[in-house]
Amino acid sequence: MNTTGPMSRILTACALFTTVISQPAFADSASTETLTIQSVPVQFELDATIEAVNQSTISAQTSGAIKAIYFDVNDQVEAGALLLEIDNIQQQASLSQARANLAQTVAQNEDAQVLLKRNQRLFKKGTVSQGELDSTTARAKSAAAAVAAARAQVKQSEEQLAYTKVRAPYSGIVSNRHVEMGELVNPGSPLMTGLSLTELRAVADAPQRLASQYQSADQISVRVNGTELQPAKVTVFPYADAALHSVRLRADLPTSAENLIPGMWAKVVMTTGQRDAITVPADAVIQRSELSAVYSQRNGKAVLRQVRVGNPQGERVEILSGLNAGDVIYTDGYAQLANQSSAAE
């Protein structure tokens, strides 16, 4: 019979946790604590995902062939950096034509305005009829409107030319490139996808009953990589998902948070109130596989008592069963375990 299998190890662990140690507990040098009822927060943990606040796909706003590409996937870019260029021959020609048209309409408008002023003087002298003055006035207004339209065309052509140089809207990292050199693009064609690593948020779906208890951002914290973060801002969507009956919750993380990347798992912790509980220092709990135990003091001796632990409360751990208020426990469980092993030898 195999005596070193999983069942044997479980029986050994159970025997350890149910044994009363009869040797002295070295209580003179050990630190103890008398347990009392304490108020602890009522907390619920929600699975969350870290995502970038700024994450977008840049699309072409003009037509042309890709002339140059300056960044690729995984490259860091600064805000305003030139990502790629689109061939601008057509846009340069359109701008030149628009400027020439503007110069022509400006000259025609100047001539129309001079003629209008002259006819107005002649009308006062009675040498120009009312009909001729009205016609001159209409031509002058039309010429002025043509100038305004030509200037708008120049501005539009300048914008089309500027669109041939695609720049980063914010600092971040390129996550995808959708075009190759020489490829023809049209307005709306995706060019590059990027995201910012400086502004991140945790996104979770809260059950309807839990979302109804949300009142302020002080109730929310984010736990990721063993670190508790206080969000800079919390947004709770004003509607529920029709299929899951859950409410989307977004917690903006502080920019000082380190070692976070989009796509990571996190926990959004919501505090809804307070309740009474018994807690012990985390160092007092001894873990053996799935079993937990604490050394308590009974008649001057150390007794290993199996306990059921709950949620961590800072540097302490909640005890769900196995201990009562008034019990005296040793605050360093593993030190007591070492003492007991030395005494047994």
Which among 320, 324, 215, 316 is positioned nearest to 273, based on CA atoms? 215
Angle between helices 89-125 and 130-162 (to 10 degrees): 160
> Of 162, 179, 203, at which residue does a domain stop?
162
> Of 147, 162, 177, at which residue does a domain stop?
162
Name the band, by pLDDT with cuts 50, 70 and 90, for residue 333.
confident
Name the band, by pLDDT with cuts 50, 70 and 90, for residue 57.
very high
Most confident range, picked from 37-41, 122-126, 140-144, 315-319:
140-144
Q: How far apart are CA 67 and CA 228, in angstroms?
A: 47
* Structural domain includes residue 240: no
Q: What is the pLDDT of residues 159-170, one digit of tens each?
A: 999 999 999 999
> HSE on the CB side for 177, CA within 13 Å?
18
What separation in angstroms does the CA of 150 have from each of 37, 95, 141, 142? 81, 11, 14, 12
pLDDT for 343 equals 65
Q: How many Å separate Cα 142 from the centre of its chain?
A: 54
* Structural domain includes residue 194: no
* Structural domain includes residue 81: no
Q: What is the pLDDT of residues 142-154, one digit of tens each?
A: 999 999 999 999 9
Which among 86, 270, 233, 107 is positioned nearest to 164, based on CA atoms? 86
Residues in CB range of 48: below 8 A, 6 or more apart? 202, 203, 204, 222, 251, 265, 266, 267, 268
Angle at 260 between CA 254 and CA 264, to 5 degrees: 120
Whether the CB-CB separation of 83 and 192 falls below 8 Å is answered with yes
- With a threshold of 0.85, does the pTM exceed it? no
pLDDT for 244 equals 87
What separation in angstroms does the CA of 113 have from each of 66, 130, 135? 46, 17, 12
User: Of 49-58, 193-202, 228-237, 250-259, which range is least confident?
Assistant: 250-259
* Structural domain includes residue 148: yes
Give the pLDDT mean for 254-270.
Answer: 89
Which among 296, 210, 263 is positioned nearest to 27, based on CA atoms? 296
> Of 115, 140, 162, at which residue does a domain stop?
162
Higher-confidence residue of 230 and 7: namely 230
Q: What is the pLDDT of residues 103-147, one digit of tens each?
A: 999 999 999 999 999 999 998 888 888 999 899 999 999 999 999
pLDDT for 264 equals 93
Higher-confidence residue of 343 and 338: namely 338
Residue 2 in this model has a pLDDT that exceeds 70: no
Task: CATH number of the domain at 158, please.
Answer: 1.10.287
Which residues span the domain enclosing 332? 12-40+274-344
Task: CATH number of the domain at 291, please.
Answer: 2.40.420.20
Q: 158 and 94, same structural domain? A: yes
Domains: count for the chain: 2
Higher-confidence residue of 322 and 338: namely 322
* Structural domain includes residue 297: yes
